[in-house]
Chain A
Amino acid sequence: MNAMTDIKTDPTDMTDLAIAIAMRGVTKIFGDKPQEALALLQSGKSKAEVQAETNHVVGLDNVSLDIARGQIFVVMGLSGSGKSTLIRHVNRLIEPTAGEIVVNGTDVLKMSLNQLRTYRRTQVAMVFQKFGLMPHRSVIDNVAYGLEVRGVPKAERLKEAAKWIEIVGLSGYEQSRPRQLSGGQQQRVGLARALALDTEIILMDEAFSALDPLIRSGMQDQLIELQKTLGKTILFITHDFDEALKIGDRIAVLKDGAVQQVGKPEDIVLRPANEHIEEFVREVNKARAIHVRSIMERGEHEHCQASVSQDARCEDVLPLFAEHQWVGVQDSDGRQIGRVTAKQVIKAIARHTPGLN
């Protein structure tokens, strides 16, 4: 396999991928008379000006996003940036003031109430920051909840729920109540509840934000691991840039309800579009953001003793340099497609540190 085909199979390259969720000019204004505020906003006034003049809050400002099938798309923003509002538009928990939302070719906003319920039952599952588990139900009944709503017979849904409880590592807790579990365990229940529906799209609203750092990191790893076999379309909301870089195939940065930049994690780190994003980038762990494949020497080289996969980041290869001068990079079939040295990695990280270039 040569370098050209490698780029084509790159999971973050979206040119070949079908669009699962398309948002076009989605605007949301909270208040009694949103149309007046909308007109002001469209005439070019800022969020703050609109709020001062009409006392209406702009939740989303002309958001257009394409989310490709099978990728983890992260929307990153600080609190108040409108990211939680954005994700609730996809399953229409919030109605937009203007714009269009098309999911798998169907306009979500044109659905009748009944169609909307069917859509929520069969096509989009959601994981919540505050878990949203039913305290009066056992863990297994919580996981089976979506299937129950869908009308799946009891024996079948319990079997399915038990399977997912095992996958997220909660075997033995089936009959526990959510309150008897730790935060991390509760969110595993939330994740299993969404996965049990086997929908193509999963919405995750700050799913790991309420968890301790160590547990959060473990959950991120588990999500990445699961995604390798499931290949879902995941829309993931976070305020944590490190988290976005770790799990995102693509990242959109949101500020004041408007999209600032969309791109691969490396695009954002290497080429921040504006001052606001640069502030995030300054704080970030660049060794995590940069893939080794983007800095490696491509082509045929002699086989290296140590090697990493093409999905590896700089932080993954750093420990290997303690023992080896060269580290190989392999494609998914285990063939070596290039190699890196410690020097290249250090240069890559140093170059992207502001003030040093």
Chain B
Amino acid sequence: MFPELIDTKPLRRAIDDGLNWVVRNWGDEFEAAAYPLLMLLKAIEDLLVATPWWLIMAILVGVAWLATRSWKLPVIVLLSLLFLGVMDLWKDAMTTMALMIAATITAILVSIPVGVWMSRSLNVRNVVTPVLDLMQTLPSFVYLIPTVMIFGPGKIPALIATIVYAAPPLVRLTDLGLRSVDPAVMEASRAFGTNPRQRLFGVQIPLALPTILAGINQTTMMALAMVVIASMIGAGGLGYQVLQGIGRLEVSRGLFAGLGIVALAIIFDRVTQSFGKQLQGRIGLAEAR
């Protein structure tokens, strides 16, 4: 046995008491702070549920066509959506999609500025990188429990947990994309008397866009990977069906809901990837690499 060097009990008790104190005294404030997040999620969910199924199908198939200009991806998207409808998973799929979209939008709003900041300062990168590592490796239950204690079970902790898990790749890829812009192009831009803002929006971000889009793709995929865990604390949707299937030993329910998640993943993965490729082609990086 490892010898007991110091007594860690007071430390543990302090953390537990501290959390309890926060929950008791600041619970309402935290909930109020997360309210806009909840509103965003609810708005997206209500919109998706209220929209007729055929319209959503038409929009997603149309987007798939715009992304590839060929018939293959739209057919795959159509079949995936038909599967969700036929298997009576449509409403759950919309709930899960809403969670994923809300998490992705929030992650974009937070991650891209952080990525930009990271790309410009070594100190910031040295601080942010380990935080990102922590966010990606810490088992999600560890931060799920305190969030549930603070916000109570429901959609907010589910959304927050999803964001924490899904945001890091976008931060990393934004930073990478901005830093790997051809230094010769950056120097040329500098020689013409640009200020940092003109360089960021006129050169760096346009050239890093394919990499940033790859980050968004990663974020959507990781958000989908969280749906089962998120449903344990009240997110509902396809994850809840999987959970029920496990609980009731109904293999078919779990299997079909699981395949439903895969269908959503295929749709969002392929569509965002195709947009990325299209963009890369337009900028001309595809040939250069």
Q: Which residues of A contact B (CB under 8 A)?
A: 91, 93, 116-122, 124-126, 128, 130-136, 145-146, 149-150, 177-179, 197, 203
Chain A residues near B184 (CB, 8 Å)?
A: 128, 130-132
Contact with A along B175-202 (1 / 0, CB 8 A): 0000000101101111111110010000
- Known contacts A136-B283, A179-B287: A93-B187 contact under CB 8 Å: yes
CA distance A243 to B126 in the complex (A): 47
On whether the beta carbons of A135 and B193 are closer than 8 Å, the reply is no
Q: Which chain B residue shows the least CB distance to A142?
A: B188
Whether B288 pairs with A179 at a CB distance below 8 angstroms is yes
Within 8 A of A (CB), among B105-147: none
Residue in contact with A149 in the complex, picked from B194, B284, B287, CB distance below 8 Å = B194
Neighbour of B284 across the interface among A122, A145, A178, CB < 8 A: A178
Q: Does B248 contact A (CB under 8 A)?
A: no
**Cβ contacts under 8 Å, A126 to chain B:** 188, 191-192
B contact residues around A135 at 8 Å (CB): 182, 185, 207, 283-285, 288
Contact of B282 with A136 in the complex, beta carbons under 8 Å: yes
Q: How far is the CB of A209 from chain B (nearest CB, A)?
A: 14
* Distance, CA A117 to CA B191, complexed state (A): 9
Counting contact residues on chain B (CB < 8 A from A), the size range is 20 to 34
Q: In angstroms, how far is the closest chain A Cβ from the Cβ of B187?
A: 6
In the complex, which residue of chain A has the Cβ closest to the Cβ of B279? A136
Which residues of A sit under 8 angstroms from B189, Cβ to Cβ? 132, 134, 145
The answer to whether B192 touches A145, judged by C-beta atoms less than 8 angstroms apart, is yes
B6 to chain A, nearest CB (A): 41
Q: How far is the CA of A255 from the CA of B178 in the complex (A)?
A: 36
Residues in B neighbouring A145, C-beta threshold 8 A: 189, 192
- State the CA gap A126–B192 with chains docked (Å): 8
A132 in contact with B187 given A117-B195, A121-B192 (CB within 8 Å): yes
CB pair B190 A149 closer than 8 Å: no
In the assembled complex, the Cα of A120 lies from the Cα of B195 at a distance in Å of 11
Interface residue ranges of B273-289 to A (CB < 8 Å): 282-285, 287-288
Q: Which residues of A contact B285 (CB under 8 A)?
A: 135
Beta-carbon contact of A120 and B284 below 8 Å = no
B197, chain A: closest CB distance, angstroms: 11
Report B270 CB to chain A, min CB distance, Å. Answer: 24
Given contacts A132-B185, A135-B283, contact A121 B207 (CB under 8 A): no
**Docked complex Cα distance between A128 and B189 (Å):** 11
Min CB–CB distance A187 → chain B (angstroms)? 12
Q: Which residues of A contact B192 (CB under 8 A)?
A: 120-121, 125-126, 145-146, 149, 197
- Chain B residue with minimal CB distance to A148? B202
From residue 155 to 213 of chain B, which have CB atoms closer than 8 A to chain A?
A: 182, 184-185, 187-195, 198, 203, 206-207
Look across to chain A and name the residue whose beta carbon is closest to the beta carbon of B207.
Answer: A136
Q: In the bound complex, what is the Cα–Cα distance between A149 and B282 (angstroms)?
A: 23
- Closest chain A CB from B114 CB (angstroms): 24
B105 to chain A, nearest CB (A): 25
Q: In the bound complex, do residue B187 and residue A149 qualify as a contact, i.e. CB atoms below 8 Å apart?
A: no
Bound CA span A113–B182, Å = 23
Instruction: Please tell me if the beta carbons of A134 and B193 are within 8 angstroms of each other in the complex.
Output: no
Q: Given the complex of chains A and B, what is the CA–CA distance between A93 and B183 in angstroms? A: 13
A117 to B195, CA, bound (A): 7
**B287 pairs with A117, CB closer than 8 A:** no
Considering the chains assembled together, what is the distance between the CA atoms of A93 and B187 in angstroms? 8
The answer to whether A128 and B282 have CB atoms under 8 Å apart is no
Best-surrounded residue of A117, A134, A179, A203 (most CB of chain B within 10 A)? A134
